[in-house]
Amino acid sequence: MATLGTLAELVQGEVVGDKNLEITGVAGLEDAQPGMISLVATVKVADLARESKASAFIIPSNLPELGLACIKVDNPRLAFAKILWYFHPKPETVEGIHPSAVIEEGFKYGPGCSIGPLVYIGKNVTFGERVRIHPGVVIEDDTVIGNDTEIYSNAVIRNQTEIGERVIIHPGTVIGADGFGFVTVKGEHFKVPQVGRVRIEDDVEIGANVTIDRATTGETLIKKGTKIDNLVQIGHNVQVGEDNIIVSMSGVAGSTRLGDRVTLAGQSGIVGHISIGSDSVVAARGMVIGNLPPNSFVSGQPARPHAEDMRIQAAAGKLPDLLKIVRNLEKRLAKLEEEGQEKGNN
C-alpha cells in the first residue's frame, strides 16, 4: 500500500487531488478496482477512465484534467512501469546450490548466486555475483556469465558463450547452437564445423524460445541494451547493435549487421550478408533483401520505402476494378475490329 503522494514522488510526477489517498495496487482501466491506480496514456481513453472503478490515474502532463485523482507525468507509460515494480518487486534470491544440480570441475562463482534444481553446469564455467539460474537450465563448458544475470527454466547455454551483466534469458531459449552451415556437393550436404561462439553484452533481454546460433568462426554478437522478443532466430555471425528491438517471429540470416536502435517488427525477415543502418525500422512482415542506410523505414515483400509500399498496396486494391475496365476495353476493341472487317469486305 502507498499514498498517491508517495507514488508521485517515485515517478517525479504532480499530484492532482488528495495526496494522502491510499493506493493498494495497479491495474488496467477495465480490470481496476477501488483503491487501485490505472494508466491513461492518451486522451483517446479518457472516457474509459471516467467509467473505470480505479481510484486514481497516471496521465500525461499535457492532458486536460479529468476531474479525478491523478498523477501527471511527462512519460505516463514509464511511470506505470515503475509503479508496477513498486507493487510487484522481484522475489528475493535465495543464495545457494540445490543438491540436485550437477556441477562439473572448475566452476567458479561470486557471492549471492542461486542455482536451482536439476541444473547442469559444465567444466570451467564462471559466474559473477548474484547470478540466478532457474530449474532445468543447461550451461555448457567454458561459459562466462556476468553479475545479476537471470536465466529461466530449460534454457540451454552452449559452450564458450559469454553473457554480460543484468541479462535476462527466458524459458526454452537456446544460445550457441550450431549455425546453419553446409557445403552442397553433388546434391549432398557436407557440414561446416561451427567453432565460433556467442557473446551477449550487458542489459540484454531475450524472450522465450529464441535461438541465437554460434558463429562459424569468430562470434555472433548481441550488443548492450538490445531486447529480443519470443520466437526470434538470429543466425551465425550476425552482429546486432545497441538498443535494438527485435519483435516476435523475426529472423536474421547469417553474417548480417544491424546498427544501433534498429527495430524489426513482428515476422520481419532479413537475408544474410547485408547491413541495416542505425535507427532504421522494418515494419511487420517486411522482407529486407539489400542494404539499408541509416534512418530507413521500410515495409513489404521485398521491403521498400514505406510510403512507396503504401502506394503500391493502394494501387493493388484497385486491381479488380482495373481488370473490369480492361475487359470492357477488350470487348469494345474486338467489336470495332469486327465492324472494320465487315466494312472492308463491303
- The C-alpha cell at 195 is 567453432
Q: Long-range contacts made by residues 64-70, C-beta under 8 angstroms, separation at least 24?
A: 65/16, 66/40, 68/16, 68/17, 69/4, 69/16, 69/17, 69/18, 69/21, 70/15, 70/16, 70/17, 70/40
Instruction: For 109-155, write each residue's pLDDT tens digit.
Output: 999 999 999 999 999 999 999 999 999 999 999 999 999 999 999 99
Answer whether 251's CB lies under 8 Å from 233's CB: yes
Element (H, E) at 138: strand 138-139
Per-residue confidence (pLDDT) for residue 94, from 0 to 100: 85
Instruction: Tell me if 113 sits within 8 A of 150, measured CB to CB.
Output: no
Hunting for cell 533483401 — which residue is that? 289
Residue ranges, comma separated, of all CATH 3.40.1390.10 domains in the chain are 2-87
Residue 33's pLDDT is 94
- Give the pLDDT score at 173: 98
Q: Does domain 2-87 have CATH number 3.90.1640.10?
A: no
Q: Where in the chain are all domains bearing CATH 2.160.10.10?
A: 96-306
In this predicted structure, what is the pLDDT of residue 40? 92
pLDDT less than 50: residues of the chain: none
Hey, what's the cell of 157? 547455454
Measured CA to CA, the distance from residue 236 to residue 222 in angstroms comes to: 12
Buried b (16+ CB within 10 A) or exposed e, 185-216: eeeeeeeeebebbbbbbbbbebbbbbbbbbbb
Dihedral (CA of 154, 155, 161, 167) sign: negative
Query: Would you call 332 helix, strand, or coil by DSSP?
Result: helix
Please state, in angstroms and rounded to a whole number, the distance separating the CA atoms of residues 165 and 189. 39
pTM score, whole prediction:
0.89
DSSP state of 272: S
Integer angstrom CA distances of residue 245 from 47, 71, 142, 155, 249 = 32, 29, 29, 21, 12
C-alpha cell read off for 286: 517486411
- The class (CATH top level) of 96-306 is mainly beta
Question: What is the DSSP code string of 46-94?
Answer: HHHHHHS--SEEEEETTSPP-SS-EEEES-HHHHHHHHHHHHSPPPPP-
Give the Cα separation of 297 and 228 in Å (integer).
19
Phi, psi of 48 (to 5 degrees): -65, -35
Which amino acid belongs to residue 77? Answer: R
pLDDT tens for 255-279 read: 999 999 999 999 999 999 999 999 9
pLDDT of residue 91: 85
Phi-psi region of 160 (alpha: psi -120 to 50; beta: other; left: phi over 0): left
DSSP helix/strand/coil, 334:
helix
**Catalytic-role residue among 88, 98, 134, 236:** 236
Is 189 annotated in the active site?
no
Rounded Cα distance, 106 and 121, in Å: 10
Using a pLDDT cut of 90, give the percent of the chain over it. 79
Burial class (CB in 10 A: 0-12, 13-18, 19+), 87: middle
